[in-house]
């Protein structure tokens, strides 16, 4: 089945130690998104890629970076994780980023713990 | 700033009870509206969406939602819940303000259905 896959599902890192979260998709969608969801809060968009075009949200901290080496894969890099970065990180895709049939498909998320 | 409010953070119901989850948004322009559901241990899945036309939208598993433009609301309803509806429900809004589509989520409502 076509899907959005995130690895690992659980990640533990140390304060200040760089960490990379991975997302892959078999949907062949043009757009890939990264969201941060803290406990009991709404998912918050960090950035997205439209093909190779990177779009950062205005309030996303510089500590968060992303790479998209090809259509299928997208990575979230946290350069120096702080305790406040502990959260669920959700990857999503959509075929397009405009249009009336726009819809996002989500992966299962990676729960990041910072010790 | 654009925001989405879900009035109930936790709802507990018995099977066969009726369900209504509130969702209000703050944006004066044209919007697309979504309800996503997250079953325990699973990824976010689209329940239903509204783009235009009939403001009463029917989704999967017997859910429906009504868009009331004058009230900036998009409440989710189900006449008779089942134990399998136990999940977290997220309302999301896509303000059509030009540029790319972007989802703004509410904080979610946890629904527990007791047999």
pLDDT at residue A2 is higher than 70:
no
- Site of tokens 């900036």: B72
pLDDT score for A105: 92
pLDDT at residue B75 is higher than 80:
yes
Q: Do A42 and B101 touch (CB under 8 A)?
A: no
pLDDT score for B99: 63
CA distance A35 to A70: 19
pLDDT score for B86: 97
**pLDDT tens-digit readout, B13-71:** 999 999 999 999 998 888 899 999 999 888 899 999 998 899 999 999 999 999 999 99
Contact present, B108 and A42 (Cβ < 8 Å)? yes
CB atoms within 10 A of CB B92: 24
Residues of B with CB under 8 A from a CB of A: 4, 9, 32, 34, 36, 42-46, 49, 51-52, 90, 94, 100-108
Which residue among B9, B32, B102 sits closest to A45, beta carbon to beta carbon?
B102
**Residue in A9, A102, A111 to test binding to B, most B beta-carbons within 10 Å:** A102
Name the closest residue on chain A to residue B44, using Cα atoms.
A106
pLDDT score for B73: 96
CA A81 to chain B, closest CA, distance in angstroms equals 24
Q: Are strands A110-114 and A10-13 parallel, antiparallel or unpaired?
A: parallel
- A7 in contact with chain B, both atoms CB, cutoff 8 A: no
Contact present, A86 and A37 (Cβ < 8 Å)? no
**Residue in B9, B35, B101 to test binding to A, most A beta-carbons within 10 Å:** B101
Q: Do A43 and B101 touch (CB under 8 A)?
A: no
Among A51-55, A68-72, A82-86, A101-105, where is mean pLDDT lowest?
A101-105
pLDDT at residue B105 is higher than 80:
yes
Contact present, A81 and A114 (Cβ < 8 Å)? yes
Name the closest residue on chain B to residue A108, using Cα atoms.
B43
**pLDDT tens-digit readout, B2-23:** 789 998 899 999 999 999 999 9
CA distance A67 to A100: 28
pLDDT at residue A101 is higher than 60:
no
**Residue in A31, A50, A99, A103 to test binding to B, most B beta-carbons within 10 Å:** A103
pLDDT interval class at A100 (50, 70, 90): low
């Amino acid at each position: 089945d076509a899907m959005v896959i995130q690895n690992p599902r659980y990640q533990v890192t140390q304060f200040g130690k760089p960490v990379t979260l991975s997302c892959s998709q078999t949907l062949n969608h043009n757009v890939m998104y990264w969201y941060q969801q803290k406990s009991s809060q709404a998912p918050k968009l960090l950035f997205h890629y439209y093909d190779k075009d990177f779009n950062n949200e205005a309030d996303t901290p510089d500590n968060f970076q992303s790479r998209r080496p090809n259509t299928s894969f997208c990575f979230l890099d946290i350069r120096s994780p702080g305790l406040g970065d502990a959260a669920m990180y959700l990857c999503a895709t959509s075929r397009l980023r405009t249009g009336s049939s726009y819809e996002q498909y989500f992966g299962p998320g990676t729960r990041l713990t910072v010790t | 700033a654009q925001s989405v409010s879900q009035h109930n953070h936790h709802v507990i119901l018995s099977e066969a009870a009726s369900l209504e989850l509130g969702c209000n948004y703050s944006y004066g322009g044209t919007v697309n509206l979504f309800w996503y559901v997250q079953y325990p241990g699973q990824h976010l899945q689209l329940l239903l969406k509204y783009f235009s036309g009939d403001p009463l939208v029917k989704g999967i598993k017997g859910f429906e939602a009504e868009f009331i433009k004058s009230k900036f609301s998009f409440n989710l309803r189900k006449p008779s819940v089942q134990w399998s509806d136990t999940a977290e429900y997220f309302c999301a809004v896509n303000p059509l303000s030009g540029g790319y589509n972007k989802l703004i989520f509410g904080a979610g409502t946890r629904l527990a259905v007791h047999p």
